[in-house]
Each structure stands twice: as structure tokens, then as C-alpha cells.
Amino acid sequence: MLSRWFDKKHAHASEASAPGLHGPRVPRHSGAWAVTRKRLMAEPGLRIIDSGFTSPVNINFLTSLGHSIHLVDLVHDACTGDWLNGTDAEGNPVWDPERFLKSSLDFGGRTYDLVLLWTALDYLPEPLVVPLVHHLYPAMNPGGQVLALFHTRLKGEETIHYRFHVTPRDDVEMQLAEQFPIQRAFTNRSIERLFAGWSGHSQFLAKDSLSEVIITR
């Protein structure tokens, strides 16, 4: 339980939205990262997208293995940018996913082998989720993979927004990041629907409220 890892002052600090990272990095075992790390060590020269506030730890680890890394803070960009095009006839907001994707995920024709998506899809505004996943598909090389974590509940300390730092072990380190409200919890079926058309996915059991999945292009 995260309540065992962070003291009360960090829990209170998480209630206020502030850019950057805060507090200690706390290890969490990750079966999905363990599998991904083995691939990274066996296949040099991969192109990687890492979603989240800039992590020197991730940059140093991945580049030391001979990979290139593209950083994008998807949650921050999605939740702080103006991606609306007014309202429709009924007064509902009209989102502009294409403008968001062009601003945040313009790859200039480059394709990638791995996306470290972490929990980003749980925090994005609903109209941006499906377009983002569809945008990633053609940007991935055949056999490319997405490592994603999904919340299975909408309440509790486990829903706080964290940045994930990689390690040379079978765990990742979690650190409090800029705070945004969780938007959704995913079921196995909803994950399958979201990534319909991809060649397959592998799910990893976890003891907390995060479901770990590797989706293959």
C-alpha cells in the first residue's frame, strides 16, 4: 500500500498541483518493466518514447544502453493546454484531438520501438484517449511495444499521479509528480477494446491497484 511508503506531509503536498517532481522515489516491483528491461539490454539502438516529466534517471539509463529517447509529458500537455474548439449546438465542449497530437506527438516521420506510457491514459481527458492510441499505432515499428499501467479503482492514495523512474532491477521507482485528477479506471476488456487491432498484449499481476500491460504492435 502506498500509505506505507509516503508519510502524511507528502500526501498533503500531493493535493496541490505543482509542476515537477516531489519527495522520495519509492521502489515498486514491476513484471512489465522486468520483461521490457531484458529486451532493452538485448537489443541496442531502439527508439523509445517516455511519457512524463523529464527524468534524468530514465535518460541516463536508456542512453547508456545505446537507445535514443523522446520525452513527452502527455498528462501535463493534455490537462493544461487549450484543446477546445468552442461548443456544439447543445453547448457541449468540442475538443480538437488533432491539434493536441500535432503539438505533443509530432514525430516528424520517425517511428519507435517502445513507448513507456506508464499511467498517462488514466489522466487524459476522455476525448483525447482513443485518438492518442490510434496515433501511436502507425508511429510504432512492427513488433514495437507499449508498456502501460492502468488503475483499477478511482479512489484512494493509489490514484495519485506519479512519475515512474526505471532502474537496472525488476522494479521501477515512483515519485510524486504534478497532480491531476484521475479520469477513469480500466478493466481488462476496456484495455482490449482500446488497443483493438494491435497484435496482442501481455498482462502482469500486481499486488496494488495498478494493472500492468505490454501491448505489441
Please give the torsion angle defined by the CA atoms of residues 35, 36, 38 and 42, in that order, rounded to the nearest 10 degrees: 140
pTM value? 0.89
pLDDT tens readout for residues 32-86: 999 999 999 999 999 999 999 999 999 999 999 999 999 999 999 999 999 998 8
- Which set of grid coordinates corresponds to residue 111? 517511428
**Sequence spans of domains, the chain:** 2-216
Backbone angles phi, psi at 59, to 5 degrees: -60, -50
Answer yes or no: are the C-beta atoms of 116 and 145 closer than 8 Å.
no
**Cβ proximity of 185 and 204 under 8 Å:** no
Q: What is the pLDDT along the chain (217 residues), one digit of tens a residue?
A: 343 334 433 333 333 345 788 899 999 999 999 999 999 999 999 999 999 999 999 999 999 999 999 999 999 999 999 999 888 788 788 899 999 999 999 999 999 999 999 999 999 999 999 999 999 999 999 999 999 999 988 887 778 999 999 999 999 999 999 999 999 999 999 999 999 999 999 999 777 888 999 999 9
CATH 3.40.1130 fits 2-216, yes or no: no
